[in-house]
Structure formats: C-alpha cells, structure tokens
C-alpha cells in the first residue's frame, strides 16, 4: 500500500474554504475493493437528482467503463484521465448550483488522499465483514472528517441483528460517524448498466432518495421533497391496510 499523507480532508471542504459559491463535492472512497463505491455514487447521484439537484457523477475508477446519459437524471462524466478530473473539478468550482459525486477506486491511497482534500463530504462504504470493518476503521482514523457508510447490509432481521453486533464490536468508537445502512438490493445493479431502464423499481428509488437525504443533511443543504417519493413506497398489488 502506498504511503498515506497526514490527515487528508482534515480541513474545511473546498466550498467553505474559498467563501465563494461553488458546487459541493461528495467523494465515495476507501481502501477496500468491492464495498459499493461505484454503486453508491450512482445511488447518491440519482437520489439527489430526485431531490431537485443538478448532479454530475464522476468516474475515476480505472476498472470501470463510461456509462451512457440515456434515461439518467444526472450526468455521468468520465474522469479516468487525470486531466479530465482536473477539468471537471475546475468546472464544479465555478458553478454554485451543482453537486459532484466522485467515485473513487479501491486500494488507491494516493488518489483517495487527493480526492478527500477536494471534497466537502467523504463517504467510506463498508460491508458486514471483519475485513471491511477493519479497513474502514483505519480509513476513519486517517480521514477525521469522513463518514462510514454500511453498504450491502443484510435486509432480514436476524442478519441485521448479527451485523449490528459486529458493528458495535468493531466500530463502536465511531458510532457517531456512521450513516444509516444501505440494504442489500439486487436492483442497484441497474444503475451500473450502460443504459438504465426508463423506469426503476420503487425500492431502488426509495433507497437512493433516503441516502441522498442523509447526504444533503450532512452537507447542510435544503432539498425538495415533492419529487422524491413519486414512486410507490409499498409493493404494488398489496392492498392498503
């Protein structure tokens, strides 16, 4: 693993630093692969768009392909090339009413350090596994402003109870820096298709909106709620009780 810089992201976010109106940047990072960074970046982007925000979802992961804009409510941007990353960040720094959500790549400390320093909010996803929790513990220590985001979390009550117990044991000291868990939801892979379907399952929509609301609250940003729950919140066909 590459040497880590001291306390990346320890200072105020880039928007706060300048005192000017700039887009806000959320980075989804972490030293463990497969935790859900790419999926969560798209979930946040989709959810924030449903909350009435203008969002660009920035791809930096060299292992991923660029995705089509078709049917997306947000703009996917290919910044696998360092020059393109600098360009999109410079553009975001010049506009006040946009959000940038940057998808980091796994196990790239130097890139994470760079991204954390330009972020207003750093999220560190981790799954219910000993190894993920050990890694996110180190990342939370390394990035004092970052938040842990439980990802692909068990949806069944016994699984949730076991996951909660592991979390309390391994990450109890960071309880105040953890977001609500994102459930294991197979439909999330629809967001990673080149062309997403015109209509997405309501469970996915609601998970994206719930996550985006948490992000807005951490950024201290107001959001519209009207568009958010346009999708049914209950399984179709189930009679209302």
Query: Sign of the C-alpha dihedral, residues 89, 94, 95, 96?
Result: positive
Selection from ligand ATP, Mg ion, none that 39 binds (CB < 5 to 8 A by kind) is ligand ATP
Kind and range of the H or E run holding 103: strand 98-103
Q: Are 48 and 101 in contact (CB under 8 A)?
A: yes
Least distance (Å) between residue 138 CB and ligand ATP: 16
**Can you tell me which residue has the tokens 């959000």?**
99
CB nearer Mg ion, residue 78 or residue 221: 78
Which residue sits closest to ligand ATP, CB atoms considered?
106
Cβ nearer to ligand ATP, comparing 39 with 214: 39
In angstroms, give the least distance from the CB of 37 to Mg ion. 5
The minimum distance between CB 35 and ligand ATP, in angstroms, equals 4
Q: Count how many Cα atoms sit within 13 Å of the Cα of residue 101 in the half-sphere of its side chain.
A: 28
C-beta of 106 vs 221, nearer to Mg ion? 106
Q: DSSP for 69-135, please give it.
A: -TT-SSEEEE--SHHHHHHHHHHHHT-SSEEEEEE--TT-HHHHHHHHHH-SEEEEEE-SSHHHHHH
Within 127-156, which residues bind ligand ATP (CB under 6 A)? 151-152
> Interacting stretch for ligand ATP, rule CB under 6 A, among 44-52, 160-168, 181-189, 230-238?
181-189
> Which entry of Mg ion, ligand ATP, none binds 35, CB below 5 to 8 A by partner kind?
ligand ATP
Q: Does 67 bind ligand ATP (CB under 6 A)?
A: no
Of 24 and 188, which CB lies nearer to ligand ATP in the complex structure?
A: 188
**Integer distance in angstroms from the first to the last C-alpha of the chain?**
55
- Report how far residue 26's alpha carbon sits from residue 39's, in angstroms, rounded to the nearest whole number: 14
Q: Which chain residues interact with ligand ATP by CB under 6 A? A: 33-39, 61, 63, 105-106, 151-152, 182, 184-186, 188-189
């Amino acid at each position: 693993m590459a040497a880590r810089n001291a306390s990346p992201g320890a200072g105020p976010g880039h928007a706060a630093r300048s005192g000017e109106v700039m887009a806000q940047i959320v980075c989804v990072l972490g030293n463990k692969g497969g935790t859900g960074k790419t999926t969560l970046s798209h979930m946040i982007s989709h959810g924030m768009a449903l909350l009435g925000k203008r969002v660009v979802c920035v791809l930096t992961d060299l292992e991923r392909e660029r995705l089509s804009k078709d049917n997306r409510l947000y703009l996917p941007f290919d910044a696998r090339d360092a020059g393109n990353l600098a360009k999109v960040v410079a553009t975001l720094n010049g506009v006040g009413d946009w959000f940038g959500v940057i998808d980091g790549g796994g196990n790239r400390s130097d890139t994470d350090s760079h991204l954390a320093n330009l972020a207003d909010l750093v999220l560190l996803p981790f799954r219910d596994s000993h190894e993920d929790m050990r890694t996110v513990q180190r990342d939370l220590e390394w990035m004092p402003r970052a938040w842990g985001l439980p990802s692909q979390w068990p949806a069944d009550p016994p699984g949730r109870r076991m996951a909660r117990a592991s979390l309390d044991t391994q990450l109890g000291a960071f309880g105040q820096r953890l977001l609500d868990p994102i459930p294991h939801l197979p439909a999330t892979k629809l967001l990673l298709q080149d062309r997403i379907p015109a209509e997405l399952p309501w469970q996915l929509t609601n998970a994206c909106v719930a996550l985006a609301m948490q992000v807005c609250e951490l950024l201290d940003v107001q959001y519209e709620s009207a568009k958010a729950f346009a999708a049914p919140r209950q399984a179709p066909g189930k009679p209302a009780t």
